[in-house]
Amino acid sequence: MKRRILVIDGHPDPDRARLVHALADRYSEGALSLEHEVRRIDLATMGMPAAFYALWFRSHSVKSLERNILKFVGIGPVHHILYGAVEQNAAKRERWLDNMFVLGTGGG
């Protein structure tokens, strides 16, 4: 079944070499490979380590976006993934990119 998918890229740095942009690209590529309809929104959000954000702030802005905007207007299901410390390990980065493609195809 063809799906309508919205990808929200929330990295504050517009440099296309950033991992978040690459992850959004890979997810979109995976979804498009199955001919799903994909739309993308690029936003600027906070820039801090994911683990710190999740533990200290309890991912409050992500939860607020999901609850107060996306779900309120009927967008669902809503899923998010937080990655951190991404510049330290090229092999881990490649695994994340491959995993994001698989998620885009509906696998995983």
Q: How confident is the model over 6-27, as a mean pLDDT?
A: 85
Q: Cβ distance 104 to 27 under 8 Å?
A: yes
Average pLDDT, the chain: 80
Q: Please give the Cα distance from 5 to 47 (Å, whole number).
A: 25
User: Quick one: pLDDT band at residue 49, thresholds 50, 70, 90?
Assistant: low
Q: Cβ distance 10 to 44 under 8 Å?
A: yes
User: Quick one: pLDDT band at residue 47, thresholds 50, 70, 90?
Assistant: low
Instruction: State percent of the chain over pLDDT 70.
Output: 77
Q: How confident is the model over 63-82, as a mean pLDDT?
A: 78
